[in-house]
Amino acid sequence: MSKQKNYAAPDEVLYHVGICKNDLQGATIAILPGDPGRVEPMAKALGTDCTFVGAHREYTSWLTNINGVKVLVCSTGMGGPSVGIGVEELARMGVTHMIRFGTTGTIQEEINLGDCIINNAAVRLDGTSTHFAPLEFPAVASFEITSALVKAAQETKTDFHIGISVSSDTFWPGQERYDSFTGYVPRRFQGSLKEWQALGATNYEMETSTLYVIAQALGIHAGSVCGVIAKRTESESIAPKSAYDKAFADMIKIIQGAVVKLTKVGK
């Protein structure tokens, strides 16, 4: 069944992201970090001729040029609801490929701080995606984007893993963290880390399941790569910045390679 596609007019400024299709200069690929503060350094590390596009609420946007291809870097804020709003508005401006570039906590012993995880699917421990598809519906990455990310990671010889994310609406209880204000984790989540681990899931983060389900519902493509900044088999804490720095450098190479693959004529 083909769905109606309600594109925005080229000069229509979308209410939440605060930019319009004309601002994208033809970009149809968007890289999506959570943190607005990471957009500028990411755009500059990814490509050349970087320009600021706009900043409204949690959505900061820059354009970059990767090997002659205009790519948008736009923050989503943290968690499902703000991802949902951003994805919807970017799709209305003609963005067809969205790649989350985030951080994560691993739950598997063999995955180390500073490694990268490419998520081919996600556990829907979020609420936003249930507004787009029933919980029985899987949160699965685009095969095209995941293949491009994996090939790029292999070629650049980065420390990477492929696996299922547990995308939680909360940083503390949903990720079974006890170092919170009260230390209370509801029964529903007590022991859940071990369960996800036993099922072979690789990591916790807060956005991928929402992105994947909405992308599927809208008929666009989505993928995700995250840098490991917490190792939950050892600690609940976020690691020193060196872990992020290592993963950031590797994720930049992976995204650059993936963009080239996604845009190669004839692939």
DSSP E strands in 67-113: the ranges are: 69-74, 97-106
Nearer to ligand URA, 15 or 178 (CB): 178
Look at residues 227, 230, 221, 239 and name the one whose alpha carbon lies nearest to residue 144. 221
Residue numbers at the binding site for ligand URA (CB under 6 A): 103-105, 171, 175, 204-206, 229-230
Q: Which residue is nearest to ligand URA (CB)?
A: 105
Nearer to ligand URA, 80 or 86 (CB): 80
Nearer to ligand URA, 132 or 171 (CB): 171
Per-residue b/e over 7-30, b at no fewer than 16 CB within 10 Å? eeeeeebbeebbbbbebbeebbbb
CB of 229 to ligand URA, least distance (A): 5
Of 58, 177, 205, 221, catalytic: 177
80: number of Cβ within 10 Å = 28
Q: Could you tell me whether strands 116-125 and 221-231 are parallel, antiparallel, or unpaired per DSSP bridges? A: antiparallel
Nearer to ligand URA, 28 or 104 (CB): 104
Angle, helices 241-263 vs 39-46, to 10°: value is 50
CB of 145 to ligand URA, least distance (A): 21
- CA distance linking residue 172 with residue 178, whole number of Å: 7
CB of 39 to ligand URA, least distance (A): 17
Whether 110 is catalytic is no
Nearer to ligand URA, 217 or 238 (CB): 238
CB of 101 to ligand URA, least distance (A): 13
Whether 16 is catalytic is yes
CB of 24 to ligand URA, least distance (A): 28
Whether 177 is catalytic is yes
- Alpha carbon distances (Å) from 165 to 119, 162, 207, 234: 6, 10, 9, 18
Of 16, 57, 88, 236, catalytic: 16
Of 38, 58, 89, 161, catalytic: 89
Of 38, 100, 221, 232, catalytic: 232
Whether 232 is catalytic is yes
DSSP symbols for 15-62? TTT---GGGGTT--EEEE-S-GGGHHHHHHHH-EEEEEEEEETTEEEE
Active site residues: 16, 89, 177, 232
